[in-house]
Every structure is written in C-alpha cells, then in structure tokens.
Amino acid sequence: MSNSDLKALREDIKSRLGISDELAERLETPKNLGGHKDVTFNIPIKNGYGCGSDKETTWSVHIHGYGEILAPDDGTWHIVAKENGHTFLDKDGIKKGDQVSFSTSTGMKTTFEICGTWSEKQDTTLKIKMHIDY
C-alpha cells in the first residue's frame, strides 16, 4: 500500500468514526506500556522458615528485576520465589542488602510466593523488597 493510499484510508476511517485529527494522532501514537513496581513482602518466619504470597493481575508480561532483603540484619537466607508455582529464583547464602536478580514471564493473573529458610533457627519477620520492571 502506498503512502497516499494510507493517507486516504486514514481520512476515510476518521470520517466514518467522526474523530478529529487530534484524536486520530493520539490513537496512532504508540504507548509505552512498560513500567516498574516495588513490592515489599513481610514474611513471618517460625523456627527459621516461612512463606508469603501476593496475588496480582499482571496481564501476561515479562518481568525482571531484583529482590533485596531489608531485615533481619543477621544470618544468611535460602530464598525460593515462584510465580504460579513456577520457580524463577532459587538462591542460597543471601544476606541483608544483597540484590538478587530474577526474570520470568507471568500469566494474566499471578500469585507470587516467596519462601525463606534462615541460617538461624529462630522466629523473626523476613522483609524483602522486590523491584520489578515490566
């Protein structure tokens, strides 16, 4: 299709729909659907182990980012993160402040689950920030 044919088609569609040049321009401009989100999990840990989850509508996108332990200050962690039952992170020896990268593709609706095993066999709250880009 030639450039002049495309212009004629555009004018025909605008006329049939009764839309202005300004609205047509906005509709034709690609939108950046990407963004980012920070999610903080506060996971109760009993005798050195615990899990937490969060449900999100994610619209079947590819996500990547990092997780970072914010608390507690002591010990090391074995962290397993899953998206709808699919493991996308399984890492041992993580300490507070370490940024651990991840990447996964989501479903339309997603349940994220994070489980942590602490080197200390005590009760605490595991606080993890997930920085997610999509």
Please list, in sequence order, all residues whose beta carbon lies within 8 angstroms of the beta carbon of residue 64, skipping any fewer than 6 positions away. 101, 102, 103, 104, 132, 133
Q: Is residue 124 scored above 80 in pLDDT?
A: yes
pLDDT, greater one: 64 or 5: 64
Q: How far apart are CA 102 and CA 57, in angstroms?
A: 19
Q: Is 16's pLDDT higher than 90?
A: no
Residue 17 pLDDT: 84
With 90 as the cut, is the pLDDT of residue 4 above it?
no
The pLDDT of residue 31 is: 54
User: pLDDT value at position 33?
Assistant: 61
> What domains can you pick out in the chain, each with its CATH number?
1-31 (no CATH), 36-133 (2.60.120.380)
Asked whether the predicted pLDDT for residue 101 surpasses 70, the reply is yes
Q: Indicate the helix (H) or strand (E) that contains 35.
A: none
Q: Give the total residue count for the chain.
A: 134
Give per-residue pLDDT as tens, 24-45. Answer: 777 766 555 678 899 999 999 9
Note the pLDDT of residue 94.
98
